Structure formats: C-alpha cells, structure tokens
Chain A
Amino acid sequence: MTLDDLTKTSGEWLRGTGPESDIVMCSRIRLARNLADFPFTNRASRNEKADIEAQVRAAVDASKLDSAFFDINGLSNLDRQFLVERQMISSEMANGEGPRGVVVTPEENISIMVNEEDHLRIQYMLSGFRLPEVWEKINALDDQLEDDIAYAYSPSLGYLTACPTNVGTGIRVGVMLHLPGLVANKQIDKVFRALQKINLAVRGLYGEGSQAFGDFYQVSNQQTLGKSEEEIIKILTDVVPQVLQYERTARQELLTGRRQHLHDQVSRAYGVLKTAQTISSEETMLLLSSVRMGINLGLIDDLSIATVNELFIQTQPAFLQKLRGSELGVEERNVARASYLRSRLTNGQPEEQN
C-alpha cells in the first residue's frame, strides 16, 4: 500500500454508517503508550528513536496487522499534509524531527504514530456512535502489541506518559459531531460550557487548538487518571446522546419554523457546490455543512452522506494536489477544488470511489 493508493479510497470512518451517523461522524479512541526502557521521545537520542521505531515495527509485524509503515522523514511536505488531512497523523508529527513514522491500515481505521509526544499513539476510528466497539478493538490491538513491547507502567499511576495529563489509562475517548443546528440557533457555546464543566474537551476537526470548521466538533475526555477505560467511555455514552437531542431539536425547530428559508439555503449551497468554477476551502466547508444537514432532514435526496463526508476531507489542499500530481497555488487549488466538486456532485457515481 502506498500513499497514492490512499487517494483512491476513503477512510472507513467517513462511510456515514453506524448508529446516530447523521450527527456522529465517527467514534475515536487513542491510547498513549511508551516503551519502559527508553527515555520519552523528547529526551531520546536519534539512535534511541530509531531503536524504538524498529521495536514497534517488529511488534506490528508480529501482530499480523494488515498495514503499511510510512517513514515521515521520507515523505514530502505535501504527503505529510495529506496524512494530517486524513487524520492519520498530527501536525506535531508532520513538523517534528528525528526518526518517526506511522502505521496505517488500508481502511484507515487504525493509525499508530511512532515517536510522537509518546513512543506510541494508537488510534482506532469507526464511523457512527459506537465507542464500546472501538474500545474492544483497540484494547485487543494493544494486547497484541504488548506481546512484544514492554510498556512503561506503574501499578499506582498506570501507563506512564511524557505529559502527566495523559498518565493512567493514557486514553482519549472522543466523538466527532456535526452540529449545524446548534451553531444556527447560537446555543453551541452554552452546550460547550456545560461539557467543559464536566471535564470534557471540545475541539475542532483537526484537534488541539484548531478552529472548528464545517460545524464539526470533537468532544473527548481530558482526565485519564482515577477512572477506568469503561468508566470514561460511559461518561461519553451518557452525555453525547443529550447533545444529539439538543441538535435534533434545533434542526426540527429550523425545519418547522423556517422551512422555506432552510430549504432555500440548503438548495443554494448544493447549487453552488455543483456549479462553482472556483471556490475556497472555507466556503466549501460552510456549504458542505448545509448540504449535509439538508440530506439528513430529507431536503436533498440524490446525494449520500458518505460522499459529503468524503468531500470534507477530499477538498483539503493536500488531497487536491496529490490528485493533480503537482503542487498548486491558492488560486489553482480553488479552481481544482471547484472542478473536483462538480465531478463528484454531478456525475452520480464518481470514478474515484471503489
């Protein structure tokens, strides 16, 4: 599997299937793990990082996980950005230094970053709201890797991590939510404040500190010590349905109170995406968000959620440039983006899809 292969497919987490997938784009769990007998990444020498990478790769091979390893130093900036867009690596990893890499499965539901802030950042994503299933799968993968890796662990403090904010379970349990209704009725800040009060973090699509776009927000736990993995998951599975309820109510209010206005807005968004000759990334996100809500409310019936989900990722700069096979300036990208959107939205079945 090469990076170019990935441009022809899309991640499982974008399929738009699974429970509550009208609002919950995907469920994601990440585990932070370190090798017991090495300094953390920030203090490890080049040689030590290379040893860490070799040990992790051997453990992945032994686990028989169908996957490919990408050495970040061997990738162009464009390819690194491409992996960031696909949520396979963090921008910290893209811009880091020294031996480091990522293990990616063909369905893109698993990524294992090696030598990021921690030696291993194992991530598992599935479309829809199914955190217990994700936990079951990532837990099994973690067990397999542990057959060949001695994890840094203390009976009193749990899994030891470079930053004490991740110590204990080392787990981050999150969901990616599409909340255009709460954005439209301006209740979103209120909901976020309520979530923050119970120690849940709210972030944008691309993680820490990134601006939410396309009305997508990630909600995840912050505390990792003193609660079991199951307890942390239960907090999310208890709280997220309430947010979903607020979002559904907001959408229904929009639909009953301002149906014509909403229908008009959604149709115009769809129309612009289908016909524009040049379009910025920001405008695309905004319009795709409208269209996505429109499909869920039955205002658009000739477009699948999966296609819209994919377009959020496949209209990002690096994907477009890889598709064209060359680096493009902003203006050229805007033209390429519009052209790609037209082909995906008017041809019925796009050729890129498998």
Chain B
Amino acid sequence: MICQRCQNEASVHLTERVDGRRRELHLCVACARKAGLVLPETPPDLGLDSVVQSLISKHVGELVGELAELSCPDCGVRYMDFRVGGRLGCPNDYKVFSRGLLPLLQRFHGATRHVGKRARPRPEAAQRLRLRSRLREAVALEDYEEAARLRDRLRLKDQHA
C-alpha cells in the first residue's frame, strides 16, 4: 500500500470512526512523524508467547499447560500426543491422563462413569503391562540379559493367567 501523502510504501495504518463512518489513513513513517504521530523506535514486544499460550488454553483447556508434557510410564505417550493424534497408547493412559480425559468424556458421552457389562477382574494384568514396558526398554537399551529375564517372568505369568 502506498502512503497517501507521498509515494513511499505505507507502514502506518490508522482507522477511526467518525459518526459511525469508518475512515482509513495509510502513511509512511516519515509522513506519520510529520503528522505528529509518536512512533516507537523498536517494534514493540507483541507478547506472542503469551498470546499462543492463551489461545491453547482457550481451545484445549487450562489443563493442557500442566498436562502437555505428562507422559505415561508404561507406553511413553504424552498427553499432547493424544491431543494431536486422537489415540491413547495403553490402558494405563486413562489413569495417567484422567484429569484431561474426564472433561472430554463428559463432553462427548455426557457421562464419566461406566454403566453396563463388567469384565472379570484380572489383578495381575496391570503388572504384566509394566513388565512388557520394561522389556521394551531393555530391548531398546540392548540389555539382552535383562530382556531374557523379563521374558521368562512374562512366560511364567502366561501359564498362570
């Protein structure tokens, strides 16, 4: 856009409302100074970080700030991964992310408590989930001795399951 007083590029844009009518003024920096406008020497700090933060809070809830980096010790999924991809990583995530999940469940299902068929209790299952996650870690670290030991423990439990 061209300055309305000279032919330079306009970088100051003003709008004002007079009797309900909108008036626009586009000036270059020199003409704006001449017109008596006080311009800052350096670009002001727009506080983009806080703007982004408040947008996130507004759209995905206050808790995201705290929850965002929270991750599940069993599957390694972070709460933010779930918010981006829409999928949880393991059954334990429901416990780990419950503060973030409950409002979502309330919004989608209109409820936060299960009613209906009940599964049979399997108290040993959570422990096995943990053993498997340790096994994945051991394999990743190439600690094959530990991996073999964990595999044996899982196999033992398989027989009892």
Contact = CB atoms under 8 A, between A and B. Distances in A.
A154 interface: yes
Given A37-B129, A150-B125, A228-B116, A163 B90 contact: no
A137 to B, nearest CB: 14
A163 B83 CA distance: 11
Interface string A210-234: 0000000000001111111111000
The 10 residue pairs across chains A and B that have the minimum distance between CB atoms:
A226-B111, A158-B114, A36-B125, A37-B128, A153-B119, A228-B116, A152-B91, A225-B109, A150-B122, A43-B89
B125 A160 contact: no
Chain B CB count within 10 A is highest, among A36, A223, A224, for: A36
Interface residues of B, number: 40
A36 B129 contact: yes
A18 interface: no
B129 A146 contact: no
B114 A155 contact: yes
10 contacts: A36-B129, A37-B131, A38-B129, A40-B90, A142-B117, A150-B122, A163-B86, A168-B115, A226-B115, A231-B115
B155 to A, nearest CB: 11
B120 interface: yes
B114 A168 contact: yes
B2 interface: no
A151 interface: yes
A167 B105 contact: yes
Chain A contact surface mostly: loop
Contacts of A50: none
A129 interface: no
Nearest to B157: A37
Contacts of B136: 45
Given A36-B129, A223-B110, A169 B90 contact: no
A158 B90 CA distance: 14
A42 interface: yes
A36 B74 CA distance: 12
B67 to A, nearest CB: 14
Contact of A151 (B75, B108, B122): B122
Chain A CB count within 10 A is highest, among B101, B117, B126, for: B117
Contacts of A42: 85, 87, 89
A167 B86 CA distance: 13
Given A226-B112, A230-B116, 10 more contacts: A42-B85, A151-B119, A151-B122, A154-B91, A157-B112, A158-B114, A163-B88, A164-B104, A222-B108, A225-B114
A168 B87 contact: no
Interface of B: 74-77, 85-91, 94-95, 101, 104-105, 108-120, 122, 124-126, 128-129, 131-133, 136, 161
Which range holds the interface residue count of chain A?
35 or more
Interface of A: 34, 36-40, 42-43, 45, 48, 117, 139, 142, 146, 150-160, 162-165, 167-169, 171, 199, 222-231
Given A39-B74, A226-B115, A228-B116, A117 B122 contact: no
B75 A39 contact: yes
A225 B114 CA distance: 5
A48 B115 contact: no
B94 A167 contact: yes
A224 B116 CA distance: 10
Contacts of A162: 87-88
Given A39-B89, A157-B94, A169 B114 contact: yes
A299 to B, nearest CB: 44
A227 to B, nearest CB: 6
A170 to B, nearest CB: 9
A199 to B, nearest CB: 8
Contacts of A152: 91, 125
A165 B108 contact: yes
A150 B104 contact: no
Chain B CB count within 10 A is highest, among A150, A151, A162, for: A150
A117 B85 CA distance: 13
Contacts of B115: 168, 226-228, 231
Nearest to A153: B119
Contact of B110 (A38, A154, A158, A226): A226
Nearest to B86: A163
Contact of B122 (A36, A45, A228): A36
